[in-house]
Structure 1
Amino acid sequence: MNVFRRNNRVKDRTRVNINVPARWGYYSSFHEAVSPVIFWAQFFGVMPLKNVRLPDPEHVEFRWRSWRLLGTYAFLIWNFVVSVLFLRYLLLIGITARNTVSLVFFTMSQLSYGLFLLLARKWPKMMAHWLDKESKFLHPPYTSSKDHLKRDVKLTTVVIGLLAIFEHIMFQASTIYTFYIRVTQCQVESEDYIRLYYTEHYPHVFSALPYNHVLAVMIQVLSFTSTFVWNFMDLFIILISIGLTKRFKQLNERLLRAMEENPNRPEAFFREIRLDFITLYDILGYADKEMSFIILLSCLNNLYFICYQLMNIFQKLRFPINYGYFWMSLLYLMGRSAYLFLQASTIQDVSRVPVKILAKTPRGVWCTEIDRFLYQIHTETIALSAMGLFHFTRKLFFSMVGTFMTIELVIIQFDLTSRDHELPPLCE
């Protein structure tokens, strides 16, 4: 494969900087922008790759025998054990719509680890293909988009990461505070309150295994790592969408600038633009093929937890911190899901911009290449999909918003005749 080499990119950047101001983030490949995120994800057992920080994806390696992969196996096995123990516990006490949420959470986490492990095997080839195709967008005649790729990737990662950490801290604070008040007001006496806390909050584990502090720490670590991969699914799709959107914007900027400078362009110019558009469509198709299972799992995950949270929206809670966590978690989940959908749907939006630009083409300049270009835009669905079941478009997003509003109205109507949300006594 003719991969665009790092030294060539250095030469191009040197040549470009003569005419274009050198600014941080200009002429960055997608691999360079996203590799720091993948590097930090490896500390949680996600995407176990070697040399991921190197600028050339040809040096990135996936090895079945590595310390990174050993960590992934450890998280996978421990997650599987906890999921089995939780299923066993539910079969003993009875399965309801409310008590299965933890089982679904750990199962989704386990599937995510497995899917990212499969993606890690293909990632070096995928990034080599991506860089080979996007290399022409890293130097003139393409200029950098007004939005910086590295900056947007880092900013998005930091914002979602901080919100995820805060949401997890709120969860821990809510459960610990509730436990503290119960122990205090109910005058619960115990020689080991840490043990009491874990046996009460993780009965599915300690009803089958003897308690010890090491096991408690392992559960806490698993809870944190599962929360990470639960958020990382959405973040990863968002970053892929940002990378694709930037390249389509570059093509649109070049086309608009050229038509404003001189609309009387030869047919060869429109042919070059059309072929570059096809190149971007090829990158999109490759990414969509390799990530389809992750995209589907992410959508199912968000759908389930939003519906679950909406089901509990009228559930009475005991303390203000419980309400604070619930609403923060719900708003964060809905906001993250909405941002994912809107960012992914932006790919289709920017891919249709050439239609508006070419609509102003003088009649004497109109040619067969323009007809072919517009035909491809109108006939191809240029968007990420979930295994072809649906595509990320704004139309689908607003349809889903309407569906959730309908679900909420049904829940409100059901809540008027239900008393399932009444709180049990604090001291039993």
Structure 2
Amino acid sequence: MKLISAYFLFYVSNCLTSLFFMRLGTKWHYLLKQIAASELNEYLDLNVSFKCNFATVVILSFAVVEHALSRICKLADVKDCSTDDDLIYEKFVIESCPWMFELGIPYTFATGIYVLTLNTLATIIWSYSHIFIICVSLYLTSVLKQINKRIISRDGQHLPVSHWRKLREDYNRATRLVRSFDDAINSIVFISFASNLFFVCLQLYYLLKRSIGTVNSVPTVECPNYPSGLFNGYEVSVYVSFSLMFVLSRSLAVSLMAAQVHSASLVAAPSLYNVPSSSYGTEIQRFLEQIHGDTVALTGLNFFYITKELVLSVVGTIVTYELVLLQFNQ
């Protein structure tokens, strides 16, 4: 029996990652305390909850479909090469989680149910990490946007120093709130971005390798039932195409939502430059220095700031990777 194998390392890493993401529930308690202490309740946007729920439903729905297609693909492989219909379910379970049975765990029907359930739950937990980042980004962005609205609505007006001091202090509280959230979730953000980049590149590799538009190259001698799947031999092509589209869309959603925090922190500057000379003073100067002199953004374990420029860099990296693959495939 081979204890250490590629399958074993892959599934153990998945289990450890799933356990890590289960800690997200404990993060909410800390984050809610930060919200209560921020004194920014007047800037809360009631639409954030709806947006967060909508994102949750959409991402989980697509994740379930993507997982279902992967199981359909695996089942088709088993049925194509199976000579005994009574053993299809057993082979399907073993193929779905081979490392577990390589360790000597005996197969039973109950074990099969447990393995498939655990696999599905791991997929949902993995998707929850991205939903978590999107919801946090939506909340932080909404607070900054509400402050920006108050500043923009007073563009060019003569206002007392106390008014600008209040807005600057509120902005300062909002930036501290962003840092508090970032300290709590920057490790999750880092893993989310790294995993998204890895799986996008991986699915691109499989997509180019299998040449979409052709049926699976399965030897009919070894697999006499081919094609027996739901998509008449196109199961892998359908799964890889949908999975790539889903991972790309999810990656862009997470990246763009998180980058909005940084973008929202810069919106107020033009309106502050339009303050009349008679009202311009130390408070306005301090406000502008704070906006331009400090980077307000979520980070990936403090290694990088999530900005629109970073998103473009990641997209450029993926395009470069695809071009290299195309050259090797020629």
Q: Shorter-chain TM-score: what band?
A: 0.7 to 0.9
Q: Distance in 2 between matches of 1:360 and 1:259?
A: 6
SS of the equivalent of 2:178 reads helix
1:163 matched to 2:62? The reply is yes
Shift of residue 363, structure 1, vs aligned partner = 1.7
Q: Distance in 1 between matches of 2:84 and 2:312?
A: 53
Q: Deviations over 1:59-84 (max 9, x none)?
A: xxxxxxxxxxxxxxxxxxxxxxxxxx
Shift of residue 120, structure 1, vs aligned partner = 4.4
1:210 matched to 2:106? The reply is yes
Q: Distance in 2 between matches of 1:167 and 1:127?
A: 32
RCO higher in 1 or 2 (8 Å CA, sep ≥ 6)?
Answer: 2
Q: Distance in 2 between matches of 1:137 and 1:353?
A: 21
Shift of residue 234, structure 1, vs aligned partner = 1.0
Q: Deviations over 1:187-212 (max 9, x none)?
A: x1254331132234433222322111
Q: Deviations over 1:243-286 (max 9, x none)?
A: 101101110111222337xx001111111111001111111111
Is the contact made by 1:345 and 1:394 (CA closer than 8 Å) also made in structure 2? yes
- Aligned residue in 2 for 1:65: none
1:132 matched to 2:26? The reply is no
- Aligned residue in 2 for 1:73: none
Q: Deviations over 1:265-321 (max 9, x none)?
A: 111111111100111111111110011211111122112212211222222251223
Q: Deviations over 1:105-159 (max 9, x none)?
A: 6514423423542x544542331121221x4433xxx5x65x7111111111111
Q: Which amino acid aligns with 2:162?
A: A
Is the contact made by 1:137 and 1:250 (CA closer than 8 Å) also made in structure 2? no
Q: Which amino acid aligns with 2:3?
A: R
Q: 1:367 to 1:109 in 2, by over 3 A?
A: farther
Is the contact made by 1:252 and 1:353 (CA closer than 8 Å) also made in structure 2? yes
Q: How many residues align?
A: 309
Q: Deviations over 1:370-419 (max 9, x none)?
A: 11011011111100001210010000110111111111111111122xxx
1:256 matched to 2:161? The reply is no
Q: Distance in 2 between matches of 1:406 and 1:204?
A: 34
- Aligned residue in 2 for 1:246: 142
- Aligned residue in 2 for 1:387: 301
* TM-score normalised per structure 2: 0.87
* TM-score normalised per structure 1: 0.68
- Aligned residue in 2 for 1:289: 183
Q: Distance in 1 between matches of 2:86 and 2:62?
A: 36
Q: Which amino acid aligns with 2:114?
A: M
Structure 1 gaps, min length 5: 1-84, 417-428
- Aligned residue in 2 for 1:148: 47
Q: Distance in 2 between matches of 1:367 and 1:348?
A: 26
Q: Distance in 1 between matches of 2:71 and 2:59?
A: 18
Q: Distance in 1 between matches of 2:81 and 2:322?
A: 32
Shift of residue 180, structure 1, vs aligned partner = 2.6
1:404 matched to 2:298? The reply is no
Stretches (4+) displaced over 4 A = 119-122
Q: Distance in 2 between matches of 1:165 and 1:384?
A: 28
Q: 1:230 to 1:122 in 2, by over 3 A?
A: closer
- Aligned residue in 2 for 1:25: none
Is the contact made by 1:284 and 1:384 (CA closer than 8 Å) also made in structure 2? yes
SS of the equivalent of 2:268 reads helix
Shift of residue 103, structure 1, vs aligned partner = 4.0
Is the contact made by 1:112 and 1:294 (CA closer than 8 Å) also made in structure 2? no
- Aligned residue in 1 for 2:279: 365
Q: Which amino acid aligns with 1:127?
A: L
Q: 1:105 to 1:368 in 2, by over 3 A?
A: farther
Shift of residue 173, structure 1, vs aligned partner = 1.8
Q: Which amino acid aligns with 1:285?
A: R
Shift of residue 89, structure 1, vs aligned partner = 5.3
**Percent of pairs with identical residues:** 26
Q: Distance in 2 between matches of 1:390 and 1:403?
A: 15
Q: 1:162 to 1:132 in 2, by over 3 A?
A: same
- Aligned residue in 2 for 1:352: 266
Which of 197, 211, 222 is 2:92 aligned to? 197
Q: 1:203 to 1:108 in 2, by over 3 A?
A: closer
Q: 1:181 to 1:104 in 2, by over 3 A?
A: closer
SS of the equivalent of 1:365 reads coil
1:107 matched to 2:2? The reply is no
